[in-house]
Chains A and B, each alone.
Chain A
């Protein structure tokens, strides 16, 4: 989880990722950020994030991103 928050901080340091659950809904992270995020997560956890996983509910909070990474790791 810390690694994910660290990656997110690299994109938008001003956001409190422990509490924010509307990263997509409030347009805090945009499509460009998501691509960078997918690239960083793929490198960090050595996973392939399929394009169908790119949906608002998977990127709305650090927790949601963590759950998605866990699930992909589990499936792989």
Chain B
């Protein structure tokens, strides 16, 4: 059941009516039922996977929590009777038991994800190696079906159990409440990857109908559909034409493809997240933002703080820090300081952890070398810019350009193009084709062609381009307005006639210009495939 399908709209309308009519204390139970129903539409067997993750996490998190309570009670009771060393030893042994349980849970759940998502990728690589050594045997593929949103719900649930282990909060005692946290349907397909302490209050509390919240939520849903259906799905046609025919579309067309894909992906993913957050808001539930106008970033590190925020913070909190400040990494750093000096020694933990994190970020997006290379190139750019920091500092102190508008614009443009350049790895069928296409930007001098009818060969008409220019301009204007606060709140102060005319025009735009007319269907959200 796609977010863009009529079935989903009907599902949502029925849910919202029931949600506000029923006794408030059962609202979360209805949400759980709706989430499982939504998931069952994707495939009933998938339910087994999400139930396995929920149940294993529930049992193990509660076991960890009980051990923590036992330890805390014992230490309180034996205060004074145990020496400092004995207390420390007891704490360490109890923490070790908890860690063992945590590792079991992580191995089980990441194991499920890894087997389903990466088995065929591993087999394909083994077969390539066998081929390289002229071994004629090929291993068969398993072709496992990937349960909907497994990458998202696995990360969210493993984040929860790590937090329980770290005693950030106690384990949820009610398995059904935990099941709702794992499966809450709006965010199941493409995030955001929420934290339990952010979501629990709003998810399980009673919600009364609030016209303003519902109206704001509906506006956000409409805005999301506009970005997805009018812009992203329209640009998808051009992007598919360009990247699907690399022999024909080279040089300047690769740049056009990059630019179109940057806008397509932004409108697809942020549009999807607008729909997710909007649905939650209609239900009175607050979900964390996943984007803060990332294309206005002045550097790649800033970009990654503003794009897919919840995935970035997940990797930072649960992978980057645990690796980089682990005892073994700090020991390695110490040794490296002795061998290579202070400068290099200090960089070792950060560099190694960054490479591991970006490799994982890449492979999280998809079981293909394209994504791995994309992740590692991101890492390279971040580390190089980190190394260049003293140079930037000198440059900025020598030339006072940092606050100049044109310089900020240059930085934003540079970041946008750099990210678009890297992101092209998502598009072509393999890494070598992508690099060949990068090369043609410099070798194919066909820049004039694009204005001699080139644009009209991508499968889009003049009317499509006019719709795109107007729509993207609107998205840009709204983004600029967002910098000084909520656009919906500003709009709410406008006369009622103007507001409702605007809503109606936006609704009509989605109906009339949404790319789901004759000839093609609304496509899946790009991130739902990750």
A: residues with CB less than 8 A from B are 27, 30-32, 34-36, 38-39, 42-43, 48-49, 51-52, 54, 76
A49 to B324, CA, bound (A): 12
**Chain A CB within 10 A, most for which of B325, B333, B350:** B325
A76 and B88: CB pair below 8 A? yes
A43 to B335, CA, bound (A): 13
B321 and A54: CB pair below 8 A? yes
Q: List 18 A-B contacts (CB under 8 A).
A: A27-B305, A30-B301, A31-B320, A32-B350, A32-B386, A34-B321, A35-B324, A35-B325, A35-B349, A38-B325, A38-B330, A39-B333, A39-B346, A51-B321, A51-B322, A51-B325, A52-B166, A52-B167
Q: Please give the distance in Å from A69's CB to the nearest CB on chain B.
A: 14
A36 to B321, CA, bound (A): 11
B: residues with CB less than 8 A from A are 88, 166-168, 301, 305, 316-317, 320-322, 324-327, 330, 333-334, 346, 349-350, 353, 386
**Closest residue on chain A to residue B163 by CB atoms:** A52
Partner of B325, one of A30, A39, A76: A39
**Closest residue on chain A to residue B386 by CB atoms:** A32
A54 to B330, CA, bound (A): 15
**Closest residue on chain A to residue B389 by CB atoms:** A32
A54 and B325: CB pair below 8 A? yes
Interface of A is mostly: helix
**Closest residue on chain A to residue B305 by CB atoms:** A27
Once A36-B346, A36-B350 are accepted as A-B contacts, the answer to whether A31 and B316 lie under 8 Å apart by CB is: yes
**Closest residue on chain A to residue B95 by CB atoms:** A50
B353 and A35: CB pair below 8 A? yes
Q: Please give the distance in Å from A57's CB to the nearest CB on chain B.
A: 12
A39 and B330: CB pair below 8 A? yes
**Closest residue on chain B to residue A27 by CB atoms:** B305
A48 and B327: CB pair below 8 A? yes
Partner of B350, one of A35, A43, A51, A54: A35
B320: chain A residues within 8 A (beta carbon): 31
Q: Please give the distance in Å from A56's CB to the nearest CB on chain B.
A: 11
A48 to B331, CA, bound (A): 12
Q: Please give the distance in Å from A50's CB to the nearest CB on chain B.
A: 8
A76: chain B residues within 8 A (beta carbon): 88
B317: chain A residues within 8 A (beta carbon): 54
B386: chain A residues within 8 A (beta carbon): 32
Partner of A51, one of B88, B166, B305, B346: B166
B167: chain A residues within 8 A (beta carbon): 52
A32: chain B residues within 8 A (beta carbon): 350, 386
**Closest residue on chain A to residue B397 by CB atoms:** A14
B330: chain A residues within 8 A (beta carbon): 38-39, 42
A67 to B325, CA, bound (A): 19
**Closest residue on chain A to residue B91 by CB atoms:** A75
A35 to B347, CA, bound (A): 9
B333 and A31: CB pair below 8 A? no
A31: chain B residues within 8 A (beta carbon): 316, 320-321
Q: Please give the distance in Å from B336's CB to the nearest CB on chain A.
A: 11
**Closest residue on chain B to residue A30 by CB atoms:** B301
Once A30-B301, A52-B166, A52-B168 are accepted as A-B contacts, the answer to whether A35 and B321 lie under 8 Å apart by CB is: yes
A51 to B324, CA, bound (A): 9
Q: Please give the distance in Å from A23's CB to the nearest CB on chain B.
A: 15
B301: chain A residues within 8 A (beta carbon): 30
Q: Please give the distance in Å from B446's CB to the nearest CB on chain A.
A: 42
**Chain B CB within 10 A, most for which of A42, A49, A51, A76:** A51
Q: 5 more A-B contacts (CB under 8 A) besides A31-B320, A35-B325, A39-B333?
A: A35-B353, A38-B330, A49-B325, A52-B167, A54-B321
**Closest residue on chain B to residue A49 by CB atoms:** B325
**Closest residue on chain B to residue A35 by CB atoms:** B324
B326: chain A residues within 8 A (beta carbon): 51
A34: chain B residues within 8 A (beta carbon): 321
Q: Which 4 A-B pairs have the closest CB atoms?
A: A52-B166, A35-B324, A38-B325, A51-B322
A39 and B349: CB pair below 8 A? yes
A30 to B385, CA, bound (A): 13
A35: chain B residues within 8 A (beta carbon): 321, 324-325, 349-350, 353
A27 to B299, CA, bound (A): 13
Q: Please give the distance in Å from A42's CB to the nearest CB on chain B.
A: 6
Q: Please give the distance in Å from B406's CB to the nearest CB on chain A.
A: 23
**Chain A CB within 10 A, most for which of B88, B305, B346:** B346
A42 to B327, CA, bound (A): 10
A31 to B326, CA, bound (A): 15
Q: Please give the distance in Å from B103's CB to the nearest CB on chain A.
A: 15
**Closest residue on chain B to residue A33 by CB atoms:** B350
A35 to B168, CA, bound (A): 21
A52: chain B residues within 8 A (beta carbon): 166-168
A39 to B337, CA, bound (A): 12
A39: chain B residues within 8 A (beta carbon): 325, 330, 333, 346, 349
B316: chain A residues within 8 A (beta carbon): 31
A30 to B350, CA, bound (A): 12
**Closest residue on chain B to residue A36 by CB atoms:** B346
**Chain A CB within 10 A, most for which of B327, B334, B350:** B350
A34 to B350, CA, bound (A): 10
B353: chain A residues within 8 A (beta carbon): 35
Q: Please give the distance in Å from B275's CB to the nearest CB on chain A.
A: 30
Q: Please give the distance in Å from A14's CB to the nearest CB on chain B.
A: 9
A39 to B334, CA, bound (A): 9
Q: Please give the distance in Å from A24's CB to the nearest CB on chain B.
A: 12
A32 to B353, CA, bound (A): 10
